[in-house]
Amino acid sequence: MKTSVNVIPVIIAVAVATLIGLLVATLCDSKNDTVIGIATGVSLAVTLLPMLAIKTNDNRLNVNLRLVSTIFTILVLLVNVIVCFSTPNKLTIYFIVLGLILLIFIGVLYSLIRSSE
């Protein structure tokens, strides 16, 4: 199976993630707005890259990758917006939840790619 990564969609995904991270940092009222904005940008970049930039020669796998990436992108965005408006004092739980979501996402993507080989 051939998998390719397109450069222009990578740039678009990173730019969109950066702009949404800046938006969340601007909307956030807590003292940790910069940290939450950076975490939002990085986590959205991780979920947007497979959705926009990865292309395989298997159409079913392409649809599954995009669907899973879309679901996790919405979940990550929802978690970040909730944390932004709840103004947490400690960011430890936020990073643990966000890290678990991203690790589950990477595991699901890995199993999807491995099952199509």
Least Cα distance to 18 among 40, 33, 3 occurs for 40
pLDDT at residue 43 in the model: 94
Q: Are 36 and 83 in contact (CB under 8 A)?
A: yes
Residue 2, both tokens: 């051939």
| The pLDDT value given to residue 20 | 93
Q: Give the closest residue to 73 by CA, choosing from 44, 40, 108.
A: 44
For position 1, what pLDDT does the model report?
Answer: 67
- Tracing tokens 């051939």 back to the chain, one arrives at 2
Picking from 27, 31, 45, 24, the residue whose alpha carbon sits closest to that of residue 106 is 45
pLDDT of the chain, 117 residues: tens digit per residue: 677 888 999 999 999 999 999 998 888 877 788 888 899 999 999 999 999 988 888 889 899 999 999 999 999 999 988 888 776 667 888 899 999 999 999 999 999 988 877
